[in-house]
Structure 1
Amino acid sequence: MKTVFRKSFERDLKKIKDRWVLEQVKRAIEEAEGATSLKGVSGVKRLSDAGSFYRIRIGEYRIGIAVERSEVEFVRCLHRREIYRYFP
C-alpha cells in the first residue's frame, strides 16, 4: 500500500523519546507499505463510527491512520490518553 505522512505525525514522532516505541512505529510503517490490504498489518482496529479511520496499537501508544482505497495516511502517533482527543 502507498503510505503518506502528515506533518502532525512527523511532529509527534520527534516528541517520543522511547527507542522501543520508535522501532515499533518503524516496523508498523514497513508492514503497511508491504501489505496489500489492512488485514496484512498487525494490531489494526477500525474506529467505530469514524468512517475510514483506524488505529494501530503499540504498547502505550497509538498510531492514527486514515485509509483511502490503496493509500494509508499516517495522521497521529500519541499516548493512549491523548490520541482520541486529537484523532479523528
Structure 2
Amino acid sequence: MKINYLPTFIKDLKDLKSTSSYSVIKNLVFTDILAVKQLSEINNLKKLKGEYNAYRIRIGDYRIGFFVEEDTITFARVLHRRESPIKPLAGTFLRL
C-alpha cells in the first residue's frame, strides 16, 4: 500500500506535539499503517457517510481522517473531537 500525507495533515500533526496523543498518532500513521494489509485490521476505524472512500480512525480524543483509493491511503486531517466533526467534502476533509 502507498501512503500519502496532505499538507493539512502534517500541519495538524505538528500542532499536536505538546499533547499526550502525539506519539501514538505519529506511530500509527508513519509505521503501524505500513504493516496493514486490509483496512479491517485497523482498530477504531469507521467508514464515513457521504463519500465512498472516506474513513476516520479514533485515537482518544482525536480523529484521523483519510481516503482510500485502490492501493493508496491519503491522510488528510487529524483533529480534536471537540474542534469539529470530520466531514468529507469533495475529496478533502473540512472543519465545519
TM over 0.5: yes
Mapping of 1:2-81 within 5 angstroms?
A: 2-16=2-16, 17-18=18-19, 20-29=20-29, 30-81=31-82
1:83 CA displacement = 4.1
Deviation at residue 31 of structure 1 after TM alignment: 2.2
Structure 1 gaps of 5+ residues are none
More helix by share: 1
Give the drift of 1:39: 1.1
Aligned length: 86
Identical counterparts, % of pairs:
33
Distance 1:35 1:21 in 2: 21
**CA distance in structure 2 between the partners assigned to 1:43 and 1:28 by the alignment:** 12
Query: C-alpha distance in 2, partners of 1:47/1:28?
Result: 19
Q: Return the offset for 1:32.
A: 1.6
> RCO greater where, 1 or 2, for CA within 8 Å and sep 6 or more?
1
Structure 2 portions without partners, runs of 5+: 88-93
What amino acid is the match of 2:3? T
Inter-partner Cα distance in structure 2 for 1:28 and 1:38: 13
Amino acid at match of 1:25: I
TM-score by length of 2: 0.80
